[in-house]
Amino acid sequence: MIGKGSGFGKVILFGEHFAVYGLPAIASAICDQTTATIETAERYELVDDRPATEGYKTKKKDEMKSSMKLLLDFMKIGVGKTPVKITLSGDLFCTSGIGASAAMATSVARAFSEYLGLGLDDDRINRISYEGEKGSAGTPSGIDNTCATFGGLLWFVKNLEGGENTIEHIRIREPIGIVLGNTGLSSVTSEVVADVRKAKEADPEKYKKLFEEYTTLVKDARHALENHDLERLGTLMDENHRLLQQMGVSCGEAEEIIRIAKQNGALGAKITGTGRGGYVITLTPGKGLQEKVAKAIESQGFRTLSTTIGL
Ligand code: MEV
């Protein structure tokens, strides 16, 4: 008996950290996915064959264990009673910021659904994946698991009362090229989210202003996307990054990648996801610009991933 499932990686265009507090965010799944395969075995075994940034798997070991436990408990699966071998693979290169933990949780939920013949629909898979996300993000907004499960370009608003989140597909004229620059550093989402929460509690006035500014910005960003106004979109990404800097979630390597990308013509650049490492997202419509920016970032020793948003 065998079960297979997959989950998309994602990039956040607007609203990492803000999303946790119920403010709208815009995120897109990317084509790269994590795949989980489940086979009957004599004892529980987890094989992690996912490609990853050096040090990522070690740094994320505890998170991953806790994620797996939360989602298995939620599905009421005891791997003692149902011994299986879970193999994780796929073309999603795991690093902070790309939604790798959510892609993993979604893929495992889907693989168990197939293995046990549960026939779970996407809403249910998303709910399970969200439980897994608690293991990595602490108090997740749910944006990563939503992208991992449904794919596409999404407008996401967490319902702070515990009801249904708002999930709207944003339609755009054509996919838009981006280059992701990898800082090479892994961060722990639950720690960074907790630090932002502490900072917000310590200075509520500052965060009130940041949240107001961001709320106007994200609405503009949606219009810019829908109207294919890429210059404006890029400017708004830069502004979003400035707000994230004030929240203390950038780092030297990310700033360096942003500087290189902007110098080489990227329309906008910001951290994406947790921050303090992970990826930087740069807006690079058109093959020529995408290649130029990727080459420039790589020439300074950083890895890149060139892809599109809004598939
Ligand atoms: C992580 O990809 C995004 C955060 O906003 C956490 C979350 O929304 O759950 C940092």
pLDDT digits (tens, 9 = 90+) for 183-207: 999 998 989 999 999 999 999 999 9
How remote is the CA of residue 40 from the centroid of ligand 1, in Å?
A: 34
Residues linked to residue 276 through DSSP beta bridges, in sequence order:
none
Structure tokens at 145: 């698991």
Judge whether 51 and 89 are in contact, CB under 8 Å. Answer: no
Query: Which CATH code is given to the segment(s) 176-309?
Result: 3.30.70.890
Q: Where in the chain is the domain with CATH 3.30.230.10?
A: 2-169
Structure tokens at 33: 């996915």
- Indicate the class that CATH gives domain 2-169: alpha beta
Judge whether 36 and 93 are in contact, CB under 8 Å. Answer: no
Rounded to an integer, the average pLDDT of 108-122 is: 97
Active site residues: 144
Residue 311 pLDDT more than 80?
A: no
Positions of E strands within 171-309: 176-182, 268-272, 279-283, 303-309
Of ligand 1's atoms, which has the minimum distance to the CA of residue 16? Answer: 5
pLDDT digits 0-9 by tens, 265-310: 999 999 999 999 999 999 999 999 999 999 999 999 999 999 999 9
Q: Which residue from 8, 14, 17 has its CB within 8 A of the most atoms of ligand 1, so it is best to mutate? A: 17
Closest CA to 123 of 142, 139, 141: 142
> Whole-structure pTM over 0.85, yes or no?
yes
Q: Where in the chain is the domain with CATH 3.30.70.890?
A: 176-309
Question: Residue of the nearest CA to atom 8 in ligand 1?
Answer: 141
Average per-residue pLDDT for the chain: 96
How remote is the CA of residue 160 from the centroid of ligand 1, in Å?
A: 15
Residue 13 pLDDT more than 80?
A: yes
Please tell me if the CB atom of residue 210 comes closer than 6 angstroms to any atom of ligand 1.
no
Rounded to an integer, the average pLDDT of 38-56 is: 94
How remote is the CA of residue 87 from the centroid of ligand 1, in Å?
A: 26
Q: Give the pLDDT score at 271.
A: 98
Rounded to an integer, the average pLDDT of 27-46 is: 96
Residues linked to residue 45 through DSSP beta bridges, in sequence order:
85
pLDDT digits 0-9 by tens, 56-104: 999 889 989 999 999 999 999 998 888 999 999 999 999 888 999 999 9
Of ligand 1's atoms, which has the minimum distance to the CA of residue 20? Answer: 8
Q: Give the pLDDT score at 136.
A: 85
The structure tokens 């994200």 sit at: 218
State the burial class of residue 43 (Cβ atoms within 10 Å of its Cβ: 0-12, 13-18, 19+).
exposed
Closest CA to 6 of 69, 66, 75, 88: 88
Q: Give the pLDDT score at 96.
A: 86
Please tell me if the CB atom of residue 24 comes closer than 6 angstroms to any atom of ligand 1.
no
How remote is the CA of residue 116 from the centroid of ligand 1, in Å?
A: 31
Please tell me if the CB atom of residue 114 comes closer than 6 angstroms to any atom of ligand 1.
no
